[in-house]
Chain A
């Protein structure tokens, strides 16, 4: 489902040094590593936001460009428009995807975001922006879900909600997330150290 072949990435120094990774079944997968170890870079390469200096990525056996429709990505940054309301943002992305999935509506309800639909994104706190971005990531009912540090900036109850949501999603999808600390979740762990992934 997700395959990375000999992926190298350099900014000032080499961050990734020949990463090989293969995920072949649905489930929950964590990429664990210290700050600056390259977790976010690896995730951004998986979703096509960064290009590797060497190596390549295949998602669902295809080139990345051909399978954006099947990807749901939660980045560390807020990628919703500050000037628009949460609802307007979600409608914009839903129109481009051509669908507003039931799963995203369900997650919105579970995270308590329904009460914030009329709020402009700039008026939301970091935690609520994160929730809104999470719902956005699920609008297209993705088969592959990539979350970059999904728990950061969330309070304990929201973390618990997100944990449950990720666990539910992983039953019939691939859910990959990055975290700097050992996750207290039943998941497969890929450890990223010195630019190389260890299973």
Chain B
């Protein structure tokens, strides 16, 4: 159970420069948002969600793209486990990474701008789950492409578009519905991408 997920965490922990880079991004982005919030406090929440989208772009490179770069994707494809399981574990890994970085961002924002986003944790959790699924799906979709550096952010931004309205209106119910429908569609499509 969760062997792929545990393995991904082990690999991630050993890549210290990547951890340092993502922590630096979280720190610098929260500093910038705090600075901008001196003009208006209203920008903090939308800016926070934009940071989460960027985190999803960065994290997508740790998912299937990294497996493809190191050819270890072939090892996964040779295993007698269903592609659903691989996709779900990869999505869960991305979700946990985004959660960790997102909470850190929330903490830094609270320190630097004295604005607490912790009341928005439910919507943050739902959006993180959505964006993690999108991130893994985009990573799987373009892993064979040479233009993936360009395609991944494009895809993630396009897939984020449908949930932007409920996200900014803080409409939790609609966000849950859209998250469930899009995630289900992506999970059901994943075997076709991973098997070919």
Cross-chain pairs A/B with CB under 8 angstroms, 24 sampled:
A47-B78, A49-B78, A68-B78, A68-B80, A69-B80, A75-B71, A77-B74, A79-B75, A81-B11, A81-B70, A81-B72, A82-B70, A83-B10, A84-B11, A84-B14, A88-B10, A92-B3, A92-B7, A93-B75, A95-B3, A96-B79, A96-B80, A136-B75, A140-B80
On A, residues with C-beta under 8 Å from B are 47-49, 51, 68-69, 71, 73, 75, 77-84, 88, 92-93, 95-97, 120, 136, 140
> Which residues 1-42 in B have Cβ within 8 Å of A in the complex?
3-4, 6-7, 10-11, 14-15
On B, residues with C-beta under 8 Å from A are 3-4, 6-7, 10-11, 14-15, 70-72, 74-75, 77-81, 196
A96-B78 contact given A78-B71, A79-B72, CB 8 Å threshold: no
* Interface class of chain B by DSSP: helix
A47 to B10, CA, bound (A): 28
Report the minimum CB–CB distance from A95 to chain B (whole Å): 5
- A residues within 8 A CB of B4? 96
- A residues within 8 A CB of B70? 81-82
- A residues within 8 A CB of B72? 79-81
- B residues within 8 A CB of A120? 14
Chain B residue with minimal CB distance to A82?
Answer: B70
The residue from B11, B71, B80 contacting A97, defined by CB atoms under 8 A apart: B80
- A residues within 8 A CB of B75? 79-80, 93, 136
Chain B residue with minimal CB distance to A137?
Answer: B78
The residue from A51, A75, A97 contacting B79, defined by CB atoms under 8 A apart: A97
Chain A residue with minimal CB distance to B10?
Answer: A84
A123 to B38, CA, bound (A): 50
A8 to B127, CA, bound (A): 45
Q: Can you name 16 extra interface pairs (CB under 8 A) apart from A48-B78, A68-B78, A68-B80?
A: A48-B77, A49-B74, A49-B78, A68-B79, A69-B80, A79-B71, A81-B11, A82-B70, A83-B11, A83-B14, A92-B7, A96-B4, A96-B79, A96-B81, A136-B75, A140-B80
